[in-house]
Every structure is written in C-alpha cells, then in structure tokens.
Amino acid sequence: MKKIVILGGGTGGTVVANILARKISREAEITLVNNSPQHIYQPGFLYLALGEILDESKITREEEKLLDRKIRLVIDNAVKIDVQNRMVILSSGKQLEYDYLVISTGSRIVPEEVQGYEASYHFYSLDGARRLYEALERFREGVIAVGIGGIPYKCPPAPAEFCCLLDYYFTKRGIRNKVEIHYLSPLPRTFPHEAVAEAITKMMEKKGIHWHPMFNIESIDPEKKIVNSLEGESLKFDLLVMVPPHRGAEVIEASGLGVDGGWVPVDKHTLQYKDYSEVYAIGDATNLPVSKSGAAAHFEAKIVADRISSEIMGDEPRAMYDGRVLCFCDAGFRKAIYMDFNYERPPKKPRFSYLWYLGKQMVNKFYWSLILKGIV
C-alpha cells in the first residue's frame, strides 16, 4: 500500500483527496491533515461583511462530512515537513511517513505587517468579515477607501468587486449619495488583465466609484485617519478596508521550503517541488504565476490526483496544468462578469450580465457537492 499525505483540507486538499479516494483507495492509504475540523467557503466572507449572509453556518461545514469515507482525516497542525526523509511532523508529536505528499496549506494573512493596521477592517477571515459588517451597519456618511496592503493576495478581483457591492449596499440603504467610495488599486489600472480592467473601470465610473492608480498601501495613521501609499500619495478616510498582506503557511517557512514570503516553488506544469518528484504543491501555497483562487486550486488538484494515481497504477504521469483560472466578479444589482484564462490565453473583454450573476450563484451553491468532490 502506498501512503499519500495531503497537508491542508481547504479547497485544493479536499478535491485532491476525494478524487484519489475514488481512483485508488485500494492501492493507497490516503491521509488528509487539517488544522481545523471546519471547512470555510471563503468567497462567502464578502457576503457576510455586506449582510447578505447573516447565518455563518451557511459558509462553513465539518471537513469530515465533505470527505470520502476512505480518507483518514487527522485534525492537527503540521509543524515540519522533512522532504529528505519523506516525513511530516505534527504538533501532537505524531510523525507521518509518505510515498507522495501534496502540500495544500493555502496562505495566511499578516495585517500586522502594515503600520497602523489596527485602524483598518478586512473581509479575509470570519472574524474580519463580522467586524466589518458591524462597522458598515454603523456607517452613515463619509469616505470609504478599499485598498491593498501587499501583493500577492487571494482572489485579485475581490477588492474591486467589494467596491461595486458597496455601491449596491448603500443604494439599498438609501444613503448612497452620502458615501464616497474610493478604490486604491496597486496597479496602473483596475485589474491585472487589460481587457478586464477596461470593463471594470467603466463599471466603476458609471457607479461613481473613485479609483486611484498605483496606490500600494504602506502605512496608516490611525489618529488622523489617513492612509499612505508606497508611491507617496495619501487619502483621508472615515472607514478603511485593507486587503491584508498574505504569506505562505508557517510550516512552509519552518521547513525551509518557501521562497519570497513562504510560497512553495513548483514546476508550473507538473506542480512538483524541485527534484522531489513525489512532492506536489497546489493552490495558494504555491509561487505559480496565477491568481490565488479556489478555481486554480481546484484545477491543480485534478492534475495532481491524475499524476499520482497514474504513477501508482504503473502508468506514466502525463497530466499537465495549463494555468487555467476561471472567475466571476459580482458588480451588484444582479450583474456579474466571467473570465476564463490560462498561461497562454489572456481573458477576453468581459460583459456584465445577469447570466454571469446566476453563474456565480451556481458556483456558491455547488461548491459543497460537485466542486469539492472534483466531479466538475
């Protein structure tokens, strides 16, 4: 029996484990280690912050219930990965040996890396989204700024999407004319891809959202309520929403596997770590030049499951990741855009439509069943 250990039971880890269990549970023992018994659907944080979801149980499930029964779930924190000896050490002291390892430990947020961060809010954790919801409910008038404290971060369209949803939120409350929304873009445009940026910029201008190019947040003055950029600009705000800086999981740095902030360097097609062909990494944990997104984690999980199962069944592993990402961006008022791109093919100029809004609702709905099982 081969031993497969998957570290991290978020989007990517759950998909890879479920596919492997379907394909090779007779040939391999599959263990998934997650440091929490709970699985959170992170795109739901946006809707929690804006009061569209009030019941948190709608975006959380027990990880155990999402996994095929043939998978062994261990709730523990991995503290060290020893690639030389093919072993993972857990905080309980247990050691797990493996023949194949899949690292899917995602990213962690480090707001404290920005001076004055305590004067800001965010929607990048359950607590953060809850706190932001309360602040927005109290907000009656003034300037709201939405900016970015460091690149890379999860879900590149999320802050622009949040600005559009704020416009919708304050319109519904009947106070849109008393609120100024400012988007502080870290780039010279509103989105990394030019064709998409054109559509988002137009939408923002139509909604009266002010956007500032090249505004990478460097520090915040909590007393004066001023946010300063690395580029030397400043803006006075009444409420600041800052996407916190992101880093790889602590275990990656503790094991000496990470580069540039704790991201695991992998081959962009095979997803293997350096010369260790039995070690794979997927999703936010990697240093791949694709969006840190559930969609990328999901596509990469399918590739890795295919490669490992082929090898265990005695075939040549042939599946290659082509950099595919797909993504919906909700603009409020039941309109959204859709993008589908990969390493070679940039996204086409998208159109806002009700159809793509429904598409996003379908993804939200089928995440727990079809997506996490790796069926779609």
Ligand X SMILES: Cc1cc2nc3c(=O)[nH]c(=O)nc-3n(C[C@H](O)[C@H](O)[C@H](O)COP(=O)(O)OP(=O)(O)OC[C@H]3O[C@@H](n4cnc5c(N)ncnc54)[C@H](O)[C@@H]3O)c2cc1C
- Residue 35 engages ligand X in binding (rule: CB under 6 A): yes
Q: Assess 144 for contact with ligand X (CB under 6 A).
A: no
Binding of ligand X by 263 (CB under 6 A): no
Would you say 282 and 271 are in contact if contact means Cβ atoms under 8 Å apart? yes
Q: How far is the CB of 278 from ligand X (least distance, A)?
A: 19
Close Cβ partners of 219 (under 8 Å, ≥ 6 residues apart): 114, 115, 116, 227, 228
Minimum CB distance to ligand X, residue 157 (Å): 7
Candidate list 98, 124, 139, 367; residue touching ligand X; CB under 6 A: 124
Pinpoint the alpha helices (H) of 117-249: 126-138, 158-173, 194-207
Number of residues in contact with ligand X, rule: CB under 6 A? 36
- C-alpha dist (Å) from residue 363 to 293, 326, 329, 351: 13, 11, 12, 19
Tokens representing residue 211 in the block: 């956007």
Among 4, 6, 32, 42, binds ligand X (CB under 6 A): 42
- Residue 77 within binding range of ligand X, rule CB under 6 A: yes
Q: Does 13 bind ligand X (CB under 6 A)?
A: yes
Question: How many angstroms separate the CA atoms of 355 and 311, rounded?
Answer: 41
Of these, 50, 119, 158, 308, which contacts ligand X (CB under 6 A)?
158
Could you tell me which residues come within 8 angstroms of residue 55 by beta carbon, excluding any fewer than 6 positions away? none
Q: What is the C-alpha separation between 374 and 358, in angstroms, rounded?
A: 21
167 lies in the binding site for ligand X (CB under 6 A): no
191 or 225: whose CB is closer to ligand X?
191
Taking CB under 6 A as the criterion, the residue among 5, 31, 67, 104 binding ligand X is 104
**Residue 111 contacts ligand X per CB under 6 A:** no
Q: Which member of 6, 30, 46, 281 binds ligand X (CB under 6 A)? A: 46
| By CB under 6 A, residue 295 contacts ligand X | yes
**The binder of ligand X chosen from 5, 6, 10, 50 (CB under 6 A):** 10
Enter the tokens of residue 145: 């700024």
Helix axes 194-207, 158-173, angle to 10 degrees: 20
Q: Does 8 bind ligand X (CB under 6 A)?
A: yes
Least distance in angstroms from the C-beta of 42 to ligand X: 3
Other residues' Cβ atoms within 10 Å of the Cβ of residue 85 = 8
**One of 4, 5, 6, 7 touching ligand X (CB under 6 A):** 7
Q: State yes or no: residue 9 binds ligand X (CB under 6 A).
A: yes
Asked if 45 touches ligand X (CB under 6 A), the answer is yes
Please tell me whether residue 251 binds ligand X under the rule CB under 6 A. yes
CA 223 → CA 60, 74, 113, 194, 232, distances in Å?
36, 45, 18, 37, 19
CB of 86 to ligand X, least distance (A): 17
Residue whose beta carbon is closest to ligand X: 10
Q: Shortest Cβ distance from residue 248 to ligand X (Å)? A: 9
Q: Which of residues 5, 20, 32, 34 is near ligand X by CB under 6 A?
A: 34
Residue 176 near residue 141, CB atoms below 8 Å: no
Residue 150 makes contact with ligand X by CB under 6 A: no
Please list the alpha-helical segments (H only) found in the chain.
Answer: 11-24, 44-49, 63-66, 126-138, 158-173, 194-207, 250-254, 294-312, 354-366
Question: What are residue 103's DSSP bridge partners?
Answer: 7, 281
DSSP state of 116: T
For residues 239 and 121, is the Cβ–Cβ distance under 8 A?
A: yes
Of 42 and 225, nearer to ligand X (C-beta) is: 42
Enumerate binding residues for ligand X (CB under 6 A): 7-13, 33-36, 42-43, 45-46, 77-78, 104-106, 123-124, 154-155, 158, 249, 251, 283-285, 292-295, 297, 327
